Amino acid sequence: MALLEVDDLHVTVTTEDGPASVIDGVSLRVDAGETVCLVGESGSGKSVTAMSVLRLNPEPAFAYPRGAIRVAGVDTLRMPARQLRATRGGTVAMVFQDPTTSLNPAHRIGDQIVEAIRAHQDMSRADARRRALEVLTDVAIAEPGRRLDQYPHQLSGGMRQRVLIAMALACRPRLLIADEPTTALDVTTQARILQLLRELGAKYELALLLVTHDLGVVAQMADRVLVMYAGRIVEAAASRDLFYDPLMPYTDGLLNSRPRGVADGGGLTPIPGAPPRLGDWGAGCRFAPRCRLAEARCRTEPPALTAADGGHLRACLLDVDDVRARRLVHRQAAAR
């Protein structure tokens, strides 16, 4: 069942020159028990998309002129404020990149979790504290009873992120949105947090929307992957299909920009140029100015996101088999 359904989302932001488009027709769905990764570089719109689900982009600077976001069938973009507040941290929970700024330094960990629970559920303080202890145990924090009475500064970065995951889980959400949850952490800590997210996702049958720029994290976590570029989804596929058979030259370029294995010293092929600035997107395919394969029509004609084969979607005007053939030739040339 689709727990989250984003349908033709458009988001604008107010600039000195009037409203500029940041998200331009994004559609996606996340089912219960499924992990979907939203990948892209800075400015691609991946975080704005994630924040739109709970309308956390600061309004009125950000506006939603078109589209719908349905959480368990109800449109959050048209929800009354009261219902939206109940959804935030209730049905849908979020975990952000920086565990330090997400916690209040002046309050004990336990009090912050208890407050989050009581904001959503009619529960006594004692019961809420018991639930807090339970979720701290869930996220594998040692001596959870003692941690409840500690302040954020007494915990390490990895432990703070566990506390935030615990807090997110406290009200039994059905959808968890995690925006770069391990980007600020060291690799050994990251490995533990990702493992934890996988275990908890399975245990609670969570729908997990994971926003990240790290293709290694995607390979480890994703059932399905959505690649964003300049405010649009440019490719969407099951994880293996995307990694082993990328059908949009941008995805292929992204994969060639990173080593395939830890011990892989086989050279990287960068994508020339830089991602376009906000709104500076041109008429045709937004990746065309950096694309090796671009043809004249790519610069004028915008490609739609269409099915290549099976559930594999891509926004590219070029012929699928042509893209495949030229990808192989390019890989072989790079290997020599």
Partner 1 sequence: MSELLRCEDLTVHYPIRAGLGRRGRSVVRAVDGVSLRLDAGRTTALVGESGCGKSSLARALLQLERHTRGTVLLDGRPVGTGVGIAEFRRSVQVVFQDPYASLDPRMSVGRSIEEPLRAFRLGDATARGRRVGEVLERVGLRASDARRYPHEFSGGQRQRIAIARALAPNPRLVVCDEAVSALDVSVQAQIVALLREVQAESGLAYLFVSHDLGIVRQVADTVAVMYLGRLVEHNGVEELYTSPRHPYTEALLSAVPVADPDVERSRERIILAGQIPSPARPPAGCRFHTRCPRVQPRCETEPPDLLPLPPSGTTACHFPLEPVTHKHTEEPHDG
Query: CB of 5: closest distance to partner 1 in angstroms?
Result: 25
With CB under 8 A as the contact rule, the residue among 152, 158, 173, 246 that binds partner 1 is: 158
CB of 250 to partner 1, least distance (A): 9
Would you give the binding string for partner 1 spanning residues 112-151, x where CB under 8 A is met? ----------------------------------------
Supply φ then ψ for residue 71, to 5 degrees: -105, 115
Least Å distance, CB 261 to partner 1, is 5
Binding-residue total with partner 1 (CB under 8 A)? 50
x-or-dash string of contact with partner 1, 226-265, rule CB under 8 A:
-------------xx--x---------xxxxxxxxxxxxx
Would you count residue 213 as binding partner 1 (CB under 8 A)?
Answer: yes
Of 109, 133, 218, 298, the residue at the interface with partner 1 (CB under 8 A) is: 218
278 binds partner 1 (CB under 8 A): no
159 near 141, Cβ under 8 Å? yes
Residue 214 is a binding residue for partner 1 (CB under 8 A) = yes
The single residue among 58, 105, 126, 188 that binds partner 1, judged by CB under 8 A, is 188
Compose the 167-186 pattern: x for residues touching partner 1 by CB under 8 A, - for all others. Answer: -------------------x
Residue 83 Cβ vs partner 1, minimum distance, rounded to whole Å:
37
By C-alpha distance, which of 24, 23, 49, 21 is closest to 36?
49
Which pair of tokens denotes residue 296? 């004249």
Of 193 and 207, nearer to partner 1 (C-beta) is 193
Contacts of 131 (CB under 8 A, 6+ apart): 117, 123, 170
Selection from 19, 21, 26, 22 nearest residue 4 by Cα: 26
CB 168 within 8 A of CB 204: no
Q: Does 215 bind partner 1 (CB under 8 A)?
A: yes
Q: According to the binding rule CB under 8 A, does residue 280 interact with partner 1? A: no
Closer residue to partner 1 (CB): 3 or 315: 315
Residue bearing tokens 């912050």? 112
The one segment of 146-154, 270-278, 299-307, 315-323 that binds partner 1 by CB under 8 A: 270-278
Q: DSSP string spanning 81-107?
A: HHHHHHHBTTTEEEE-S-TTTTS-TTS
Tell which one of 104, 125, 149, 272 touches partner 1 (CB under 8 A): 272
**296 part of the interface to partner 1, by CB under 8 A:** no
**Distances in whole angstroms, Cα of residue 59 to Cα of each of 94, 291, 328:** 19, 35, 46
CB burial string 289-311: b at 16+ within 10 A, e below:
ebbebbeeebeeebbebeebeee
Strands 306-309 and 224-229: unpaired
Selected from 61, 202, 268, 328, the binder of partner 1 by CB under 8 A is 268
Site for partner 1 in 27-86 (CB under 8 A): 41-42
* Residue 283 within binding range of partner 1, rule CB under 8 A: no
Task: Count the helices and strands in the chain (H runs, E runs).
Answer: 11, 12
Residue 2 pairs in a beta bridge with 31
- Provide the edge-to-edge strand list for the sheet that holds 232-238: 92-95, 175-179, 207-212, 35-39, 224-229, 232-238, 312-314, 306-309
Kindly give the residue spans of alpha helices, DSSP state H, lying in 205-273: 215-221, 239-244, 249-256
Q: Which stretch binds partner 1 (CB under 8 A): 120-128, 272-280, 301-309, 316-324?
A: 272-280
**DSSP letters spanning 292-308:** TT--GGGGTSPPP-EEE
Interacting residue ranges for partner 1, rule: CB under 8 A: 41-42, 156-159, 186-192, 194-195, 213-220, 222, 239-240, 243, 253-265, 267-272, 274-275, 277, 290
